[in-house]
Structure 1
Amino acid sequence: MHRHANLAEALMDRALLCAAGEALAHPVPGGGEQRISYAALDARARAVAAWLRLRDAPGRRVLLALDPGPHAAAALLGCLYAGAVAVPVPAPTASRTEAERTAAIAKDAAVDLVLTETAHATETSRRLSLVGRTGITCLAVDGLAPDATSPTATATAPPTATAPPGLPDSGPVRTTADSLALLAYEAGPATAPRAAPITHGNLLAAMPALRQALGTGPRSRIGGWLPRHHTLGLVGQLLHPLWLGATAVPLPVRPYRADPVAWLRALDRHGVTETVAPDTCYARCAAEVTDEQLAGLDLSRLRTALDAAEPVSAATMAAFRRRCAPAGLRPGALLAAYAPAQAAPLLIAEGRGPVPGLDLRVLDPATRRRVPDGVVGEIWVRGPAVSARHGGRPADTETAVGGFLRTGDLGVARDGEIRMTGRCHEDDPADSFVVAGLALHPQDVERELLRCGRPLGSARVFCAGPGTGPLVVVQEVGAASGSQAAFARLAGRTRDRVAEEFGAATGAVLLVRPGTVRRAGSHKVPRATLREQFLRGEVRPLYQDAEPGLRTPAQPASGGAA
């Protein structure tokens, strides 16, 4: 493709060249798929762009709250076509924390418009009202016909279908490489989210880098369940295949995160050739897939499967390769990779070397000096596909130093390759853990657990590893007495709340006496301190529900609990 001024021009050119080709293969209930051509997707995107341009969209921030699929793709492309700034968030679920996060993002990004679906329009408007954003115009994209008709949208309810005449030209607005394309909120807790601003230039630079890292081409079928509001899912598994003229296979997040073996079946069913998943997903597949299930799988079409989005275990990769070889998995298909959240994204794959133009360094976070190969430090990155900064607050300026962006990831350099080992600055209020490939903010979990009600009290949440690994909850109980059965119910309530709110499994729940987490004067014990005590076996729970490797000595309790 010739040199383009922005990603919208590149995507429109591709749609023209591949009009009859398959742009999307969207899974539908029952195991089938809905196939959308490039021409059909382009028509839908142009209709969205026309609607946006009626509202002076260039440069305005547009919240995208949709399920993965054709409507989400049309909404994103429509924003790019119209010169608007896309602000993707998850489609509404029952999670209160997610609702708080969406409301905070809408406020932080100062969104002007909302694109959603009819099923989510009312709830999305309710979430915006939580932060006083009640006057925002909301469009249900599934009510917008691709023949350049446009429904009238309202601010507080699903739009009605009336078509004003005289829509403007839906060709691309003239934006430059420096124009903002999207705001990706992957950092910060629900109440204080932080964005990585991604420009059209970042996206244009990322596309050939992804092609090199993944070995993709026009015949690729790129799919996975990584969230579409994160750059690795949004750019790597949706925009990249559309830029290539390939096929995107957008899978829903929660079902496949909960059942990785079902994800393997989906890769087979939809003929996926390139995918990305976190290390825990591959580990669970290797441990849980049965011989009978393997006999019904064909993974021979999978050319590249990247183990990324969290620290990679060599043992996990060896186990997955060995276990899935009978299903046709190619020996060199599974590769370790690192994908900085602030990139657009860039993937550095094992054995394929660094991406051209990318400067990646491992530095001591205190001295800002390079550390020797094999020594853990913080990963710093710069390059044309890397966001120039974190979003808007003055405190965030420290994240960009000398053109480098501080990722907050810990890693080691060996033979010119970078391996992520965890997260740093555990007690930084803007920090996150990496759990099953997704960012989980400890203060969000702790705040949610306070809502569980009596006799549960304050909690501290951390990972067994350095910012990653099994999740550990140290939960105070209001009374030390109780039966084993009563404690088991309380631990189960804690596990269930974490799973329902955040979709995350808990490796260990420790119920402890009052004062273990919150000391006199309402001061909480730092997470780092409590984690070290836990790893040394110094946290003595009244009751614990833990994986064998995470069990710690218990203390006797009155009332018969051990």
Structure 2
Amino acid sequence: MSIGSMPRPQAAGLDTLLRDRARRTPEALAFRFVLDSRDPDAPGNTLAVTRAALDTRARALAAALRSRARPGDRVLLLHPHGPEYVAAFLACLYAGVVAVPANPPDTPAGAARVAAIVRDARPALFATDAAHLAGHQSAPGLRGLPGLATDTIDDSVDDGAATVPIRPAAAGDIAFLQYTSGSTGDPRGVVVTHAGLLANMAAMADRFRLTPDDRLVSWLPPYHDMGLILGILLPLCSGTDAVLSSPFEFMVDPLSWLENLTRFGGTFSAAPNFAYDLCVRKATPERAAALDLSAWRLAVNGAEPVRRATIERFAERFAPSGFSAERIAPGYGLAEATLMVSGPDPGTRARVTPLPAHAGSHVVGVGRAVAGTEVRVVDPATLRTRADGTEGEIWVRGPGVAAGYWQRPDATAATFAARPADAPDTGPYLRTGDLGLLRDGELYVTGRIKDVIIVHGRNHYPQDIEEAVWSADPRLRPGCVAAFDAAFDTEGAAGSRLVAVAEYDGTPDGATAVGAAAGRAVVRACGLRLAELVLIRRRTVPKTSAGKIRRSTARDAYLHGGLDEIARVPAPFGAVRR
């Protein structure tokens, strides 16, 4: 039974739906938390939580939140992976406060992001666990903000946690603020309502054909829309159980994801494109031979451009493990649409189409719009609808589109209230900022408008250039390249200067050869001349907390000396200079 077909509770909010689930099936398993993927079968390394236990824990935490915050106040959630994060999120729903999930400020980039979120959301307090409370309180953006260690709250305290009446949420109430990844600027708080969240999850459950017999396996960060909504809330609402592991463990050992799918018989999982590539690269013959992926019926690929080569490499590498290409389901979505906009039907092989205006460039289809959602492709300059098969900006409308940006009326009006010039009575539409095209109802996403590189009047997509660069030499780290136009102006004539910044596992002595290989690869793949290749140290290319390349940040760092450089290799890729 999917949430699209199940009887709706009388109240329109997610809180009532979850309490109803806990009341009707209290002993049903909600989650298994894998706390250590290296040996999940060891005592204490996997924790099973029932719906009743999760509901009881959430009620206790809700009582603690109600004593510290008023209805409508924002509460910043900074928990690490584990059951306490899930309970704290549900507690916010139960208490009528607005959850603001965020990645913990454990790195300089993470601390800067949290500080930006605090300035924008103005939370009443932040919540985490006792082990991290003191450290977070010393972070620059959190100093002076009250903190709550939720794992110090006792389930059995006599505070009425289980009996205090809680006003059920209305359809239009805010469920939580989902801060954008910040790939093109400071993060913005997307206002996700209960109605929009339930509508989007019902559409996903319908498109993915989820049933209580499915088992989701996820390592996705719980503070991002795909990890939170698809990885946690969707299984809670659809009646499936889920196995959750840490995103940090995946980054350290990508094969732990596939091993968890094997161990727990996972049927459904999702990840960005880079994760599938990582698994191919890290799969040793011994570990690959031990995998059994025959139960994995649906592998959603989304959150970044889906690469045809990735699908082919993954399917070929893990075919002996019982996996096949038609199980990979490319999808498209964004936080401003709650999560999912389009996806293919299960069992449908991914479609690939060439782009006539871009020689040699092919894009993977990301399926049809989910139920109740309309996608329109519009010329971003004239605002007129583009013909079928013609590229333009992707516009979306439907019940899952969010209510706007928190406390930003101008940005909300510009992004969420668009109307096409040739059909002004339709809408309003969400302007996604993404380029794409529709062909026979299938959506193809080609790139971000702000990232497109224009050379001699033609559009080029940075992801194509980046893949050409990192594929040129094994010392360049896949998915860790930023390509951009370091435009200049000489004697009043505008020009372009194509630069790539790439993480490099090598020494300066090898830089010239690497630069030459990358330059040739870009010419072959894209017909472009790379002006300069900048080699930088591991894990220093600017990325969002979701792992997306921050190309504008990389460009600024390139222009102003902010990169952790190993070498610069200018065209014609001769001498290396610092």
TM-score by shorter chain over 0.5 = yes
Is the alpha carbon distance of 1:183 and 1:326 closer, same or farther for their aligned partners in structure 2, counting shifts above 3 Å? Answer: same
**Hey, what's the Cα distance between the residues in 1 that align with 2:157 and 2:184?**
37
**Hey, what's the Cα distance between the residues in 1 that align with 2:557 and 2:250?**
37
**Hey, what's the Cα distance between the residues in 2 that align with 1:204 and 1:507?**
31
Q: CA deviation at 1:199?
A: 0.5
After superposition, the C-alpha distances for 1:451-483 in whole angstroms (9 at most, x for unaligned) are: xxxxxxxxxx83379xxxxx94289xxxxxx97
**Hey, what's the Cα distance between the residues in 1 that align with 2:138 and 2:18?**
34
For 1:345, the equivalent position in structure 2 comes to 339
For 1:147, the equivalent position in structure 2 comes to 156
Q: Which runs of 5+ in 1 are unaligned?
A: 150-164, 436-460, 466-470, 476-481, 525-540, 546-550
Which of 354, 372, 391 aligns to 1:357? It is: 372
SS in 1 for 2:336: coil
AA matched with 2:151: D
Q: Is the contact made by 1:24 and 1:37 (CA closer than 8 Å) also made in structure 2?
A: yes
Which of 260, 270, 281 aligns to 1:276? It is: 270
For 1:99, the equivalent position in structure 2 comes to 111
| 1:121 counterpart = 2:133 | yes
After superposition, the C-alpha distances for 1:278-298 in whole angstroms (9 at most, x for unaligned) are: 122223323442333222001
SS in 2 for 1:294: helix
For 1:112, the equivalent position in structure 2 comes to 124
| 1:373 counterpart = 2:388 | yes
| 1:405 counterpart = 2:420 | no
Which of 200, 203, 217 aligns to 1:206? It is: 200
Q: Is the contact made by 2:462 and 2:482 (CA closer than 8 Å) also made in structure 1?
A: no
Q: CA deviation at 1:133?
A: 5.6
Where do 1:324-335 residues align within 5 Å? 324-330=318-324, 332-335=326-329
Q: Percent identity?
A: 35
Q: CA deviation at 1:192?
A: 3.0
Is the alpha carbon distance of 1:243 and 1:335 closer, same or farther for their aligned partners in structure 2, counting shifts above 3 Å? Answer: same
For 1:531, the equivalent position in structure 2 comes to none
Is the alpha carbon distance of 1:166 and 1:267 closer, same or farther for their aligned partners in structure 2, counting shifts above 3 Å? Answer: closer
For 1:529, the equivalent position in structure 2 comes to none
SS in 2 for 1:495: coil
For 2:146, the equivalent position in structure 1 comes to 137
Is the alpha carbon distance of 1:259 and 1:372 closer, same or farther for their aligned partners in structure 2, counting shifts above 3 Å? Answer: farther
Is the alpha carbon distance of 1:493 and 1:426 closer, same or farther for their aligned partners in structure 2, counting shifts above 3 Å? Answer: closer
Is the alpha carbon distance of 1:278 and 1:553 closer, same or farther for their aligned partners in structure 2, counting shifts above 3 Å? Answer: farther
Where do 1:213-224 residues align within 5 Å? 213-224=207-218
Is the alpha carbon distance of 1:170 and 1:203 closer, same or farther for their aligned partners in structure 2, counting shifts above 3 Å? Answer: farther
For 2:19, the equivalent position in structure 1 comes to 12
Is the alpha carbon distance of 1:36 and 1:170 closer, same or farther for their aligned partners in structure 2, counting shifts above 3 Å? Answer: farther
Q: CA deviation at 1:491?
A: 7.5
After superposition, the C-alpha distances for 1:491-546 in whole angstroms (9 at most, x for unaligned) are: 776334348997969999xx99xx9954xxx8x9xxxxxxxxxxxxxxxx99458x
Is the alpha carbon distance of 1:269 and 1:392 closer, same or farther for their aligned partners in structure 2, counting shifts above 3 Å? Answer: same
Q: CA deviation at 1:41?
A: 0.6
35-44 or 172-181, which deviates more: 172-181
Is the alpha carbon distance of 1:184 and 1:336 closer, same or farther for their aligned partners in structure 2, counting shifts above 3 Å? Answer: same
Q: CA deviation at 1:5?
A: 1.7
AA matched with 1:378: E
AA matched with 1:147: S
Q: CA deviation at 1:101?
A: 0.9
**TM-score normalised over the length of structure 2:** 0.73
Over the aligned positions, Cα root-mean-square deviation in angstroms equals 3.8
**TM-score normalised over the length of structure 1:** 0.75
Q: CA deviation at 1:214?
A: 1.8
Q: CA deviation at 1:426?
A: 3.1
Q: Is the contact made by 1:18 and 1:245 (CA closer than 8 Å) also made in structure 2?
A: no
Is the alpha carbon distance of 1:267 and 1:170 closer, same or farther for their aligned partners in structure 2, counting shifts above 3 Å? Answer: farther
Q: Which runs of 5+ in 2 are unaligned?
A: 1-6, 347-367, 420-427, 454-460, 464-480, 486-498, 515-532
For 1:161, the equivalent position in structure 2 comes to none
Where do 1:27-426 residues align within 5 Å? 27-29=34-36, 30-32=39-41, 33-93=46-106, 95-127=107-139, 130-131=140-141, 134=144, 136-148=145-157, 165=159, 169-188=163-182, 192-330=186-324, 332-351=326-345, 353-396=368-411, 397-400=413-416, 401-402=418-419, 403-426=428-451
SS in 2 for 1:369: coil
Q: CA deviation at 1:131?
A: 4.4
The alignment of Structure 1 onto Structure 2 pairs a total of residues equal to: 471
For 1:2, the equivalent position in structure 2 comes to 8
**Hey, what's the Cα distance between the residues in 2 that align with 1:507 and 1:91?**
19
Is the alpha carbon distance of 1:326 and 1:65 closer, same or farther for their aligned partners in structure 2, counting shifts above 3 Å? Answer: same
AA matched with 1:60: D
